Structure 1
């Protein structure tokens, strides 16, 4: 209730990006002292053994993670993990620093519990993120799993070389690495999901990783045709990818409760949040059928509560992620969802879908 009042009275009156910066700054200041973070972790991080998942060769304290986009520059990893996420994915990080698209570039659609963003991979670049993560390594909170999501620098002419450079800089700091070829906000990026273009990028990233045993995943768009989803799944098996993340934001605006004029005013960009749930779930089910029971799939898109997260796990997800629901739900949202998931695991007993990978 307190968060809802703060959101309605303060944050909603601010530009969405300004509100995000204010919120993350407040989080950083509040949780900067290690003793405060320790206390918050004790209160929020799930210690329920029923929630533990072994996947990608890693032991996750819970299947609920924070999706890429919230912490683009790896500035708040430990603070975010302290709120109760089982893992935190930072980025998207590009090989070169870039400012992203002109502002305003993030918009709320409260009637749909959705966001529209055309941020354009604004970040300080791979070298800066690597330096920050390297410094954190000397004083990191224990047990925090960090994924790193890498994307193409807008001005890069050679996509494969650009991804290779990011992988070389960031793989030493990643518990898992994600190739993002599915954001709608970098011109031509989604074309790289075509298997004939994606396969050499996967190979280039592996070259950049220089033999490091870091799990490698690809994040795909919800707007792919079913045949293209199948083709990516087949490529994942053929190239030995460790997992897929499904899905990124959508360019669709179908079925929204927000008035058409307000949707049009937000303009182009990726839509995230509740309206994405149906397609994201459909892609998950298609991938699971195509890939078999043991392949790691992280489901993201429209996960709003414990029931949604449980439905994704039951449909074949190994892990789930959220972003927009966290923005609307506030800092205690991951704690609430993790507790709700724990209740469902115990109710399911031996029929629980957790731990399949």
Structure 2
């Protein structure tokens, strides 16, 4: 009798585990938003943040992420930099540093993918631990320090990815400098020469807080010299069309520094094609999490309004230069506010850490609904409406 009871309990256990496993598998495959947010991501967060990041890259690399079934509506299609984006939501640099995850990120539903930052020579980055999850603040602090496999490896990987893509996706390459380099300008010139033939756009990243003296390149005269060199290099590339050049800025710039940058990029020989606003911040607002005082760049929800306000300011100062807005985007409303402030495209990173891949489809659905409610037939009609109203 007892043996029969134990057998029944054992059978019940196996059936229950099997049912839970099957249910979980179905939810993961379907990209169930609540299941990811409430179950999958908390389990992943049991891992060290850098290990969790590596796991996310691996699952994207081998296309183990859920394939989005959402069909982007025409309202979300937009043309920027003379390129057509199926939707304006992209993954920010820092997630796929070495171009491993392009296939999986496309499956999730991103309209464009930014790889990097990539440095000319391979370098390990800063000592570990170097990334911290601030769950109570929906934020991340990182001090990776441009850990990169280098130009050669990433170039070959992106070349292979573009060959095997079953449908096109816009890929940007974010360029950085080596920590030990004595010639910063040369490092960015090398990046343009290496990736100019296979990238849909290139980013000059001089705003990371984790490489010594990098942000000093945002100073007026240093920036002028850098931009003259990289724009000349881009213009001399033997490719057509030439890849657009974007400049990524820090949120910690003063108003005078922002005005100086706007003045520089209006000059014909320094005229970039767009801005990315913004990188992580070294400021520390009121934070609640355990790791709030760690050194590094803060991203996520605390950066949301800072980023949106800077987009508005730089759009005014530059008379509407194309902007990719990034910082604290976790909903369609967040994306919409950046678009109305002057962003033509929007990127996210931290929200996928806390909500998982389904957050991309959620944002697109919410954004499409908001556009419809306000009577816009296309997202391009909403870009900068708050700027125009000032």
Same fold by TM-score greater than 0.5: yes
| 2:54 pairs with one of 9, 18, 21 | 21
Q: 1:25 offset after TM fit, Å?
A: 1.4
Aligned ranges 1:182-261 → 2 under 5 Å = 182-209=207-234, 210-211=236-237, 212=239, 213-238=242-267, 239-258=270-289
Partner Cα distance (1:27, 1:125) in 2 = 20
Q: Look up the SS of the partner of 2:95 in the other structure.
A: coil
Distance 1:31 1:172, change over 3 A: farther
1:158 aligns with 2:183: yes
TM-score (norm 2): 0.84
Distance (whole Å) between structure 2 residues aligned to residue 171 and residue 188 of structure 1: 26
1:87-126 matched pairs, under 5 angstroms: 87-126=112-151
Which of 60, 78, 84 lines up with 2:109 in the alignment?
Answer: 84
Aligned partner of residue 275 in structure 2, secondary structure: strand
Structure 1 runs not aligned, ≥5 long:
none
Aligned to 2:29: none
Give the stretch that moved more between structures: 207-216 or 51-60. 207-216
Describe the shift of the 1:133–1:353 C-alpha distance in structure 2 as closer, same or farther (beyond 3 A).
closer
Preserved contact between residue 138 and residue 354 of structure 2 (Cα < 8 Å): yes
Cα separation, 2, equivalents of 1:224 and 1:67: 20
Shift of 1:349: 1.8
Contact 1:47–1:61 (CA<8 Å) still a contact in 2? yes
Q: Give the number of aligned pairs.
A: 343
Paired with 1:141 and 1:155, the residues of 2 have a C-alpha distance of 39
Partner of 1:173, secondary structure, is coil
Runs of 5+ unmatched residues, structure 2: 1-33, 385-390
Larger Rg belongs to: 2
Shift in Å, 1:80: 0.2
TM-score (norm 1): 0.92
Shift of 1:27: 2.9
Aligned 1:2-151 pairs, distance under 5 A: 2-3=35-36, 4-8=38-42, 10-31=43-64, 40-41=67-68, 43-44=69-70, 46-151=71-176
Q: Tell me the secondary structure at the aligned position of residue 172 of structure 2.
A: strand
Take 2:44 and 2:54, find their aligned partners in 1: how far apart are those partners? Answer: 10
Shift of 1:353: 5.2
Q: Deviations over 1:208-234 (max 9, x none)?
A: 433341100000000000111111122
Distance 1:353 1:137, change over 3 A: closer
What CA RMSD, in Å, does the superposition of the two structures yield over aligned residues?
1.8
* Conserved? CA contact 1:126–1:169, under 8 Å: yes
Q: How far has the Cα of 1:352 moved from its partner?
A: 6.0
Given the alignment, which residue of 349, 361, 373 partners 1:347? 373
Per-residue deviation, 1:110: 0.3
- Superimposed CA distance per residue, residues 233-276 of structure 1 (whole angstroms, 9 cap, x where no aligned partner): 222221221000110000011221325xx323xx2100000001
Superposed displacement of residue 206, structure 1:
2.8
